[in-house]
Amino acid sequence: MEPKIEVGPDALWIEWPDGHQSRYPFERLRALCPCASCAEREVDSGGLRVIEQPSERAVRLSRLERVGNYALCPIWEDGHSTGIYAWTYLRRSCDCFACRSERRGEER
C-alpha cells in the first residue's frame, strides 16, 4: 500500500500506511534533495543541505510526480527536477516530534 500524499500551498503532507502523518515544508523538502548535485552542497547544523542564494522559485513546487511505486520527484519552479525522494528516505526524514524522539533513542 502506497502512502497518501497531499500538496498544500507551502508543504507536502504524507499519510503513511501505518497511519503516521508527516509534513514537509517545501523549504525543508528542497533542502533534503538527494540528487547528485545537491548532495555536494554544504550541510548546516541541522543536517540539511544549504541552498545557495535561495529564491522563492527554488522552494515553490511546480508539480509532483510519482516515480514507479517507490518514490516522488518534485519539480520546482526554478527548474530543478533531478531529486528522486524514495518513500523510505522521506519516512526517515520526518521531522515530527515522535520521529525525532525515536531517532534520538536509536542513537544512544
Query: Which of 62, 64, 63, 25 has its CA nearest to residue 46?
Result: 25
Reading the chain (108 residues) residue by residue, the pLDDT tens digits are: 789 999 999 999 999 999 999 999 999 999 899 998 887 766 666 666 666 656 788 889 999 999 999 999 999 999 999 999 999 999 999 999 999 898 888 765
Q: Determine how many CB atoms are found less than 10 A away from the CB of residue 30.
A: 23
Give the model's pLDDT for residue 89.
Answer: 94
- Which of 10, 8, 67 has the alpha carbon at shortest distance from 35? 67
Residue 46: half-sphere exposure toward Cβ, Cα within 13 Å: 9
pLDDT of 18 reads 96
User: In the prediction, which pLDDT does 52 show?
Assistant: 60
The residue range of the domain holding 18 is: 4-107
CATH number of the domain that residue 75 is part of: 3.30.2020.30
Question: What is the value of pTM for the model shown?
Answer: 0.84
Looking at the structure of the chain, the number of domains it has is 1
